[in-house]
Homo-oligomer: A and B are copies of this chain.
């Protein structure tokens, strides 16, 4: 790409928005003009990009008009995406949307560039970025699935504060400081005490007994892998970690898959880094995944409770591969 691309970042002041700017910079995305949008609360703020100051403008139905925006990276929540993404498309932009607003819309591709880049071509103005837990789970599973079809996934997540935004991250820090000082923990953003505690994911429980986050992991897996026969049983849990998600995964294949074979496939898979040192007890940890583009995978071992089944553990930066990086990668492919 030598042509310059005019980029809008919607939700620029959020945790993901900030990482989108950092990722555009780090990956040398050929940014031409840059427009930053956020809610009226952030209007008038300024943000730096490559040494230049940019004003944050208020997100409105007319804000994209006449600006020749090529790509609009949306990360301002599902409600804002539903309300404003069409305006960006009508103004000529392709929207890469980090929210859940359009993920299950049949005409909207749901893309992880390492997995289903070809789906991008089918877009009609909007491309959806999958849920962070889904991306981080599927990154190590895809290379295995291509070799030996996955039949069933049982996954338990250890999700960081960042998935609930910058305010949740601040709440975890502030509340922990309070608790350490002997003060009471006062939940504000999160529904429960977060300091030195964990709780079932803070999305509503749906009719099937699974929360929204869990049902996303099931349905998005089907759409990204183009295979809705894969059975998925997720349990999503928030843990007091700041910004990288971890997941304990047990995966059943159609045929036998040895630990060695899985290790070899994962060692050469793009976007995945093998951290699997049994002697040193070194495995994926969120603190090591933080700031990294790659998803860390390890603890690969035979599932001693079944056949054709492996257990593994993964950690990935929720704000990067789980959100900003994946969105920028999609923009790169456009």
* Chain A residues close to B by CB (< 8 Å): 152-154, 156, 158, 172-173, 176-177, 180, 191-193, 196-200, 202, 204-205, 208-211, 218, 231-233, 235, 237, 239-242, 246, 248, 250, 259, 278-279, 281, 283, 285-287, 299-306, 309, 311, 313
Is there contact, CB below 8 Å, between A196 and B242? yes
Is there contact, CB below 8 Å, between B239 and A281? no
A-B contact pairs, 15 of them (CB 8 A): A154-B303, A191-B281, A193-B287, A196-B287, A199-B283, A205-B278, A209-B259, A209-B278, A209-B300, A231-B306, A232-B305, A233-B305, A233-B311, A237-B248, A239-B241
Report the bound CA distance from A176 to B178 in whole Å.
12
19 further interface pairs, Cβ-Cβ under 8 Å (given A205-B281, A210-B304): A173-B180, A176-B176, A177-B180, A180-B180, A193-B287, A198-B246, A200-B313, A205-B278, A209-B299, A209-B302, A218-B304, A231-B304, A233-B305, A233-B306, A235-B250, A235-B299, A237-B246, A239-B240, A248-B248
Chain B residue at minimum C-beta to C-beta distance from A236: B248
Chain B residue at minimum C-beta to C-beta distance from A284: B200
Chain B residue at minimum C-beta to C-beta distance from A176: B176
Is there contact, CB below 8 Å, between B197 and A285? yes
Q: Which of B192, B218, B281, B305 contacts A153 (CB 8 A)?
A: B305
Is there contact, CB below 8 Å, between B209 and A301? yes
**How many monomers of this chain does the complex have?**
2
Contacts of A286 in B (CB 8 A): 197-198
Is there contact, CB below 8 Å, between A304 and B208? yes
Instruction: Tell me the smallest distance from the CB of A327 to a CB of chain B, in Å.
Output: 25
Chain B residue at minimum C-beta to C-beta distance from A161: B196
Q: Which of B191, B218, B279, B287 contacts A197 (CB 8 A)?
A: B287
Report the bound CA distance from A237 to B177 in whole Å.
24
Is there contact, CB below 8 Å, between B198 and A158? yes
Of the candidates A172, A208, A240, the one having the most CB atoms from chain B within 10 angstroms of its own CB is A240
A-B CB proximity, top 7 nearest: A209-B301, A231-B305, A233-B305, A156-B156, A156-B248, A205-B278, A197-B287
Instruction: Tell me the smallest distance from the CB of A95 to a CB of chain B, in Å.
Output: 31
Report the bound CA distance from A158 to B197 in whole Å.
10
Chain B residue at minimum C-beta to C-beta distance from A153: B305
Report the bound CA distance from A300 to B208 in whole Å.
11
